[in-house]
Structure 1
Amino acid sequence: MNSPKKVLITGAGTGIGRALSVEAAKKGFDLILVGRTLGTLDETLSMCSTSPVRSVVADVTKAEGRALIADAVEGSLDILINNAGVLSVGHLADMSDADLQRMTNTNLVAPMALTRDLLPALRSSKGRIVNVGSVFGDIAYPFFAGYSATKFGLRGFSDAMRRELSGVGIGVTYIAPRATHTAAERTFASLIEPMDMTLDTADVVAVQAWDAILKGKRESFPKGKERFFVKVQRLFPSLVDKSLGAQARDLKTLAALRPSPQS
């Protein structure tokens, strides 16, 4: 009998990462779950009891955290899922250096660095790199400028690594969910209605992601209008400029961005 696939998931304590972990456990994979907070990781572990599973408390933006992760892999890895991410929303003029640095480090630099560090283990198993991006990595949304920039970068990284590793048997899949019902939803909740956003549950995202991963797909986008808009964005970006520009100027959108008055 073949050994179960060894799968490492970052940001596994909550949201999409937790849903990806639970779905992977149903498939019987050997799981290594990574997150910064022991309590949330333990909650995810308790939901994955049908599968071999262990956790690593580590910050993927830190070299020492990535070293702990590499040690846990023990020389071979079938699937690396770079899922950890953070979000700040609002006018770029209101973004602090810390906001921009946090998104860049977590959403882009950390996946690149962790992929680099785990390449020997992935080569050993002829494994697969999975980068969880966003529809915002194709359709750059106003008031999500920093976040969109990091996801555009992650999509470019995915394409580059797919080509760079094409001769060594390592595959690359880019997953681009739309807005999702997670704790991060609080960050942009006031924009959902004025910007006509459709949200998926994390469970739906996880099922679609695993379908794409196991089929070895190049990329995966949600079903619905966003998939169509991605195609329009790539072929006729000026049409998307007009549509999203109008939304950005709409008084309801601008009102939603104003801070709530302090009581």
Structure 2
Amino acid sequence: MSTTKKVLITGAGTGIGRALAIEAAQKGFDLILVGRTSNTLEETLSMCSTSAARRVVADVTQAEGRALIADAVDGSLDILINNAGVLSVGHLADMGDADLERMTNTNLVAPMALTRDLLPALRRSKGRIVNIGSVFGDIAYPFFACYSASKFGLRGFSDAMRRELSGAGIGVSYIAPRATRTASESAFAALIEPMEMTLDTADVVAAQAWDAILKGKRESFPKGKERFFVKVQRLFPSLVDKSVGAQARDPKTLAALKLSIQP
């Protein structure tokens, strides 16, 4: 029987998912790379230094897509990484139903459904569920309301499953990167300076994530001020209300927001 770990990564065609895949290939894992676009998955495959990798073109928000993924897993899975996510930025009053449903379905409902569908395979291997969240899943940011809510939900889901599966031999890790330099950055680029965001590269996020995963950590946050702010948020949320609320009201922030949401 092979001792090589089988790892499935959603949203593997770009950004953090691609970086996670490249790092996993370097570690010698057997990879199943999932995404909605064949071309981007092929690009990721070409960057992976392993022949033990295959792609599954599937939409994780659809039952048909999840069925394709389950077929590819074939009954056994060591690590499931729920990474696929989407982002829209703006005042909640300006968000349409489609925006809210897209973020909620992709960022929260799909990871829950895919985890449910792959639980038998994870039980067989006594594997690990990894949910890629966000610092915004602790520090709720204005103009990122639905995105923050979906990541708060993913963090809650991670805690609940860790407790529900206690004794089953399945671990759960919640990884919370800060803002990352990916294609999604364009959605909030104008807000980076006025809201004093620090950005990591996808490679840095992937390296920190794999370190946490392989050490079996419960949760992982980036090094720096965000980790401190998460602690403040959990203990003294009113302080964060004042600080981030002031940023949200600042004319420079509001002017940058208009630039971010221009068609």
TM-score normalized by structure 2? 0.98
Q: Which one-letter code corresponds to 2:246 in the other structure? A: A
8 A contact 1:112–1:157 mirrored in 2: yes
Q: State whether structure 2 residue 162 is matched by structure 1 residue 162.
A: yes
Tell whether the 8 Å contact from 2:84 to 2:106 is kept in structure 1 after alignment: yes
> Kindly, what percent of the aligned residue pairs are identical?
87
Matched residue, 2:92: 92
CA pair 168-5 structure 1, distance change in 2 beyond 3 A: same
Confirm or deny: 8 A CA contact 2:36 2:57 kept in the other structure. Answer: yes
Aligned to 2:211: 211
Pair 1:237–1:260, CA change in 2 (3 A): closer
Distance (whole Å) between structure 2 residues aligned to residue 131 and residue 190 of structure 1: 28
The aligned counterpart of 2:57 is 57
Amino acid of the structure 2 residue aligned with 1:53: A
Cα deviation, residue 260, structure 1: 7.6
- Provide the C-alpha distance between the structure 1 equivalents of 2:30 and 2:89, rounded to a whole number of angstroms: 36
* Aligned counterpart, 1:19: 19
Q: Which amino acid aligns with 1:227?
A: R
Residue-by-residue CA offset, 1:146-175 (whole Å, 9 max, x unaligned): 000000000000000000001100000000
One-letter code aligned to 1:30:
D
Residue 82 (1) aligns with residue 111 (2): no
| Equivalent residues, number | 263
The residue number in structure 2 matching 1:36 is 36
Corresponding residue of 1:5: 5
Question: How far 1:50 sits from its partner (Å)?
Answer: 2.3
Q: Which amino acid aligns with 2:174?
A: Y
Structure 1 residues 23 and 144, CA, compared in 2 at 3 Å: closer, same or farther?
same
Q: Using the alignment, how far apart are the partners of 2:259 and 2:46 within structure 1? A: 38
**What is the deviation of 1:259?**
4.4
Q: 2:258 matched to which residue of 1? A: 258
Large movers: runs of 4+ above 3 Å: 259-263
Residue identity opposite 1:249 in structure 2: R
Q: Give SS of 2:102's match.
A: helix
Give the corresponding residue for 1:125. Answer: 125
8 Å CA contact 1:34–1:41 kept in 2: the answer is yes
- Determine the structure 1 residue equivalent to 2:110: 110
For residues 154 and 262 of structure 2, what CA distance do their matches in structure 1 show? 37
1:141 is paired with a residue whose SS is coil
Instruction: State the Cα distance separating 1:3 from its structure 2 match.
Output: 2.2
Change over 3 Å in CA distance of 1:95–1:208 after alignment to 2: same
Which structure 2 residues correspond to residues 131-170 of structure 1 after superposition, within 5 A?
131-170=131-170
Distance 2:74 2:258 in 1: 49
User: Which runs of 5 or more structure 2 residues have no equivalent in the other structure?
Assistant: none
Shift of the 167–239 alpha-carbon distance from structure 1 to 2, 3 Å rule, reads: same
SS in 2 for 1:124: helix
Deviations 1:7-41 (A, max 9, x none): 00000000000000000000000000000000000
Aligned to 1:225: 225
User: Paired residue for 1:181?
Assistant: 181
Task: Please state whether the residue corresponding to 2:139 is helix, strand or coil.
Answer: coil
SS at match of 2:85: coil
Q: Does structure 2 retain, via aligned residues, the 8 Å contact 1:29–1:51? A: no
Q: For residues 110-161 of structure 1, what are the alpha-carbon distances to aligned partners after superposition, in whole Å with 9 as ceiling and x for unaligned?
A: 0000000000000000000000000000000000000000000000000000
8 Å contact kept, 1:108–1:151: yes
Contact 2:191–2:256 (8 Å) recurs in 1: yes
Distance in 2 (CA, whole Å) between partners of 1:53 and 1:230 is 36
Three-state SS of the structure 2 residue aligned to 1:169 is coil
Asked whether the equivalents of residues 31 and 51 of structure 1 are also in contact (C-alpha less than 8 Å), the reply is no
C-alpha displacement of 1:257: 1.3
* Cα pair 2:190 2:260 within 8 Å, conserved: no
